[in-house]
Amino acid sequence: ETGVTQTPRHLVMGMTNKKSLKCEQHLGHNAMYWYKQSAKKPLELMFVYNFKEQTENNSVPSRFSPECPNSSHLFLHLHTLQPEDSALYLCASSLPGTGTSPLHFGNGTRLTVT
Amino acid sequence: DQQVKQNSPSLSVQEGRISILNCDYTNSMFDYFLWYKKYPAEGPTFLISISSIKDKNEDGRFTVFLNKSAKHLSLHIVPSQPGDSAVYFCAVFEIQGAQKLVFGQGTRLTINP
């Protein structure tokens, strides 16, 4: 149990589908993140939320839509994705206000867009 | 342009020997450095970190070295164990700057029995 739980673990969707990824953390953290890991590439930061407020959108296409209803939950809503969006999507949480607080990652959702 | 580079995509080491993983960065303003370890089908887990005011930090079998003049970071694991086989990511952070954690592309370490 990592303290950060992501569902589903695997997702296959067509380009016209709408789906959502869910992340929940039980660590009392107030900062939550979405990262994308593509094959042979560094982890790419997508979105950051601090105390439920989005503080970072790293030039992510609008077909990815994050939602943070409270400090424990984070969603990533997906619609009209492209095959190149297939990747491992990782959620993470940390204490806010300092990047020196290590990130705690979930186990990720492996997304395949067909 | 990639700010953090791990030039070795893979490394194979004999059990019991030393594993040395390397990381280079381009921005001298980075002032906090971390290593994460990732097993297949799991998220990365934090391993060890170092701030720019130090040149060495040790935690058990793991030691991180920082050479600021060379903008180079390394992780030493000694002695290496089969359970250390994983992908290792270095990450850097600028406390006064963009406030983003920037990751390298990872090095896959395999420890051979």
pLDDT averaged over 10-residue windows placed end to end, chain A, 114 residues = 87 93 94 90 89 82 94 95 95 77 92 94
Instruction: Judge: A107–B103 Cβ closer than 8 Å, yes or no.
Output: no
What pLDDT is stored for residue B99 in this prediction? 65
Residue A2 has a pLDDT of 56
Q: Which residues pair with B19 in a beta bridge?
A: B77
Question: Residue B85: which residues within 8 A CB-CB, separation 6 or more?
Answer: B109, B110, B111
Q: What is the number of CB-based contacts under 8 A between chain A and chain B?
A: 57
CA–CA separation, B82 vs B77, rounded Å? 12
Q: Which residue, among B24, B25, B14, has the nearest Cα to B79 in the 3D structure?
A: B14
Task: Quote the pLDDT of residue B97.
Answer: 64
Are B102 and A103 a contacting pair at CB < 8 A?
A: no
Interface contact A100-B4, CB threshold 8 A: no
**pLDDT for B4:** 93
Query: How many DSSP H helices and E strands does chain B contain?
Result: 0, 11
pLDDT at residue B41 in the model: 84
For B82, other C-beta atoms within 10 Å of its C-beta total 10
Q: Does the distance separating the beta carbons of A56 and B95 come in below 8 Å? A: no
Q: Is B92 part of the contact surface with chain A (CB cutoff 8 Å)?
A: no
Q: Which residues of A touch B27 (CB under 8 A)?
A: none
Interface test with chain A among B4, B30, B59, B101, by most A beta carbons within 10 Å: B101
Token pair of A61 as six digits: 């296409």
Mutate to test the interface with A, among B99, B107, B108 (most CBs of A within 10 A): B99
Residue type, A56: E
Neighbours of B111 (CB within 10 A): 21
C-beta atoms of A45 and B45 within 8 A = no
CA distance A58 to A36: 11
pLDDT in tens, chain B (113 residues): 678 999 999 999 999 999 999 999 998 888 899 999 999 889 999 999 999 999 999 999 999 999 999 999 999 999 999 999 999 999 998 776 666 788 999 999 999 99
- Amino acid in position B80: S
Find chain B residues with C-beta within 8 A of A99's C-beta.
Answer: 32, 93-95, 99-101
Question: In B, which residues are within 8 Å of A43 by CB distance?
Answer: 44, 89, 103
Chain A contact present for B10, CB below 8 A: no
